[in-house]
Amino acid sequence: MARTELSKILATRSWDQIDGLWMQVGCYTANTMQIEAGKKPDQLKPCAGEGANGGRIQMLPVGTEVEGANGTYTPMGAPRISYASPPYAGGYALKLAIQKLEGKDIPKLITLPLPLVTNETVKYCKEGTWAEMKDGCNAFPPSLVPNPGWFASIYSPETPEIGLQAALVGQPEP
């Protein structure tokens, strides 16, 4: 979808006429398209939106060693704000529903903060362990997460059962 819509814009403008992008998803694709058009990583346009792992890997500084990186699923120092609704929201809602069914008091209003990752706060996870995520890692190796569109905002202190293995294969964390 992002490629289709960006292609429509690029039919009447060049990348040099675009100052930046604000997207729900598609920053990874936008950077890929710029590289395909001959732009170098230091020429990428700033992009905001998308919590996908591919976009976060692209945010890492050029030269960062990333297991399984290839093509445009690689560190580029892409200027970005990664901001998206976290996938753990559903797991947390289910956990609260079970607590309510068990008779526990649950607040009527719960605010779930949206994870905001910038070039300054993107942090590579070497293994994707719960301890790494608790320490702030938020981008996973392409060798573990081959789909760059996979949403990487999986850590919440409220849901220790949901880690990388739970997100990838449906198995709770040990």
Print the domain residue range for 131.
2-89+110-169
Give the pLDDT of residue 16. Answer: 95
Residue 102 forms part of a structural domain: no
Give the pLDDT of residue 18. Answer: 96
At 174, the pLDDT band (50, 70, 90 cuts) reads low
Give the pLDDT of residue 168. Answer: 84
Residue 49 forms part of a structural domain: yes
For residue 4, give the 3-state DSSP assignment: helix
Residue 100 forms part of a structural domain: no
Residue 6 forms part of a structural domain: yes
Residue 131 forms part of a structural domain: yes
Q: What share of the chain is helix, strand, coil (3-state, %, to 5)?
A: 35, 10, 55
Among 21, 154, 143, 34, CA closest to 84: 154
Please state the domain count of the chain.
Answer: 1
Residue 121 forms part of a structural domain: yes
Residue 21 forms part of a structural domain: yes
Residue 66 forms part of a structural domain: yes
pLDDT one-digit tens code per residue, 74-115:
999 999 999 888 888 888 999 999 999 999 999 999 988 888
pTM comes to 0.91
Any alpha helices (H) in 11-156, and if so which ranges? Answer: 27-36, 53-59, 88-101, 130-134
HSE of 155 in the Cβ direction (CA atoms, 13 Å)? Answer: 18
46 in Cβ contact with 80 (< 8 Å)? yes
